[in-house]
Amino acid sequence: MRKRAPLTFGQLSLWRSIQGLAPEAYNVPQIWKLPVGSTLKSVETALEALERRHEVLRTRYEQDGEHGLIQVVWDPAPTRLNVVEADGDPDMAADVAAQGLAVRGFDLAVDRSWRACAVTVDGTCALLVICFHHIAVDAWSIDQLQTELLTLLCGGPLPGTAPNARALAVEQWSPARQDLRKSDLRFWQSIFESAPPMQRDTATGALSSKWARLGSDAACDAAGQIAARAQASVPSVVLAAFCLALSRHTGQDRLLIAVYFSNRGDPCWKTLVASQNQIVPLVVTLHPDERFDALVSRVHRDSVRSYRHGAYSVDDVHELGAEHGYSGSVNGAFEGSVSGFFRYFFNYLGPHKQDQQPISGRLVTGTDGRNIGAPLYLQAWDGKTLTCLLRENSADSGFDSVTGLLHLVMSLITSGREK
């Protein structure tokens, strides 16, 4: 028997943001190294166990209901992986396979929200290439699934049972939550009243996408010192530097920033595998004589206030935004979504994974990679190295703007090391 429920707030937010985008924008391919001795059968069995454990891995999405889409949980089904035999270079074979999966769309009503293949070397499974539709998972969920898969393949047990998105959706849309939904709208009302007017892109023709990435050990060390001194978080340090760099670059002293938030503060839903991310709005006013530590403290405090309203109905907010002149989209992306109101986006993705190689000391630029269409989008990772990636979608085809901003962000952090 299939179980039906409305989308969670996070799923609805993601759905509204990806409608009309190409598969490369909402597909999230991953390459996972498998333990030595993994067989095709053991990997398939582990994936089947994960699908039984996490409803979202066997959920389809049908056109129906008040918000246009509902989640439908199917029964578990056998997993049969395609196999790619590596010819001397398993990493290259995995990269090619991941690129192939990333460009294939999903029929959400009938397909699993993930697909995968195994890369083998002399018949032994070395890597798993798996691609998720973003409506099913966020970055935190992907990390949890990878950890659980490796635990199963190494013969370990998984603790307890996992929560499911159906239960969260029932809670979020329940009459008992009506007061919280009203509080969320009052918060957004205050944002629309204090934010600058919606800054639309008036450029005609196609937009150009380009990115720059820079890592710095010194900036990572400085961000930690500043955070401790200001009693704030490292993400708040990076976000404050981003706001200050934007102000110097644009001449604007009041900015509206979209900050991605994981919505995992409630212990009840901490282990939920689902798309939980939503954006929270942050209005930042820059003062010429304010010390950087003070700006960091203020950004941190205001961010925490925004996080308290991180789970909300995007449809409620979108309707309210239209009443304040926020409608359509900045540059044609995210049409019909709250995300369309913003020009500037920030996302802290946590510490580097052990299998990631942080880049330090050199600037890398490009035009490829996953692109969600945001006008200006800063992502940050830390650990031993602070790595920032800044992507711009604009009518400007050059790299000067994006590289200049990125260097300025890193410089502001590094120079803020000392009082």
Give every strand in the sheet of 3-6, ordered side by side: 3-6, 70-73, 59-62
Q: What are phi and psi of 3, to 5 degrees?
A: -105, 130
Around Cβ 288, how many Cβ atoms within 10 Å?
6
Residue (of 405, 107, 134) closest to 277 by Cα position: 134
Among 52, 59, 79, which residue's Cα sits nearest to residue 2? 59
pLDDT-derived band of residue 383, with 50, 70 and 90 as boundaries?
confident
The DSSP secondary structure of 177-205, one letter per residue, reads GHHHHHHHHHHHHHHHHHSPPP------S
Give yes or no for residue 134 having a pLDDT over 80. yes
Residue 358 has pLDDT above 80, yes or no: no
Q: Domain-by-domain residue ranges, the chain?
A: 3-170, 177-415
Whole-number pLDDT of residue 397: 81
Q: Which residues make beta-bridge pairs with 323?
A: none
What is the model's pTM?
0.94
- Which neighbouring-strand residues pair with 61? 71
Asked if residue 219 has pLDDT above 70, the reply is yes
Q: What pLDDT sits at residue 353? A: 65
The radius of gyration of the chain from alpha carbons, rounded to an integer in Å, stands at 22
Q: What is the pLDDT of residue 205?
A: 67
Grouping H, G, I as helix, E, B as strand and the rest as coil, residue 226 is helix
Distance CA 237, CA 300 (A): 8
Q: Which of 49, 331, 312, 118 is nearest to 207 (CA)?
A: 331
**Distance, CA of 253 to CA of 250 (rounded, Å):** 9
Q: Residues near 386 by Cβ (< 8 Å), separated by ≥ 6?
A: 215, 216, 217, 219, 220, 223, 234, 238, 380, 410, 413
Using the predicted structure, report yes or no on whether residue 357 has a pLDDT greater than 60: no
CA distance 213 to 352: 14
What pLDDT, in 10s, does the model give residues 255-279?
A: 999 999 999 988 999 999 999 999 9
Residue 354: its pLDDT value, please?
A: 53
Q: What is the pLDDT of residue 113?
A: 96
pLDDT at 44: 98
Is the CB of residue 101 less than 8 Å from the CB of residue 129?
A: yes
Dist CA 59 CA 310 (whole Å): 24
Q: CATH topology for 3-170?
A: Chloramphenicol Acetyltransferase (3.30.559)
What average pLDDT does the segment 102-109 reach?
A: 96
pLDDT band at 419 (very low <50, low <70, confident <90, very high): low
pLDDT in tens, 296-335: 999 999 999 999 999 999 999 999 999 999 998 998 889 8
What mean pLDDT comes out for the span 82-107?
A: 94
State the pLDDT at residue 123.
85
Residue 87 in tokens = 């010819």
Whole-number percent of the chain with pLDDT over 90? 84
Q: What is the pLDDT of residues 177-216, one digit of tens each?
A: 999 999 999 999 999 999 999 988 876 667 899 999 999 9
List of residues 6+ apart from 290 with CB closer than 8 A? none
Contact residues for 278 (Cβ-Cβ < 8 A; gap 6+): 9, 10, 13, 260, 261, 263, 310, 311, 312, 314
Q: Are 325 and 349 in contact (CB under 8 A)?
A: no
Which residues, listed in sequence order, are joined to residue 380 by a DSSP beta bridge?
348, 388
pLDDT tens string 19-68: 888 999 999 999 999 999 999 999 999 999 999 999 999 999 999 988 89
Fold agreement (3-170, 177-415): yes
**pLDDT the model gives residue 359:** 62
What's the N-to-C CA distance of the chain in angstroms? 63
Q: How far apart, in Å, are the Cα atoms of 222 and each of 35, 358, 377, 403?
A: 37, 17, 22, 21
For the chain, what is the mean pLDDT?
93
Question: What pLDDT shows up at residue 355?
Answer: 52
Phi, psi values for residue 418, rounded to 5°: -100, 145
Query: How large is the average pLDDT for residues 94-118?
Result: 96
Q: Which residues contact 17 (CB under 8 A, 6 or more apart)?
A: 334, 337, 338, 339, 372
CA angle 201–412–293, rounded 5-degree value: 110
Q: Which CATH class is domain 177-415?
A: alpha beta
Residue 418 has pLDDT above 90, yes or no: no
Question: In the 8-state DSSP scheme, what is residue 336?
Answer: T
